Amino acid sequence: MYQITVRGPRADIETAGNALADMDPTPALAVDMKEDGRTAWRLDVYASDVEEALGCAGIIELLIPVSDARV
């Protein structure tokens, strides 16, 4: 299993997280969004293989161009 973690403003995290969760089919096995401090949020996305993880990271980078999405 692969995990992609991104931190950022709530609006960006919700945009990317909701997009991945709502896709049909989605490359993500699970999507988790949570507050990560007073002003930051964290998105954790899980994928079953490296190709799907890279797909998730690519989607995140399209929606949040300055993200630090890493597999």
Shortest CA distance to 30 belongs to which of 43, 40, 14?
43
Rounded Cα distance, 14 and 51, in Å: 23
Residue 71 amino acid letter: V
> Which of the four pLDDT bands, split at 50, 70 and 90, describes residue 65?
confident
> Which of the four pLDDT bands, split at 50, 70 and 90, describes residue 68?
low
Express each pLDDT in 1-43 by its tens digit. 999 999 999 999 999 999 999 999 999 999 999 999 888 999 9
Rounded Cα distance, 4 and 39, in Å: 20
> Which of the four pLDDT bands, split at 50, 70 and 90, describes residue 52?
very high
Residue recorded with tokens 């089919």:
25
Residue recorded with tokens 């049909």:
24
Single pTM value for the model: 0.87
Rounded Cα distance, 2 and 39, in Å: 26
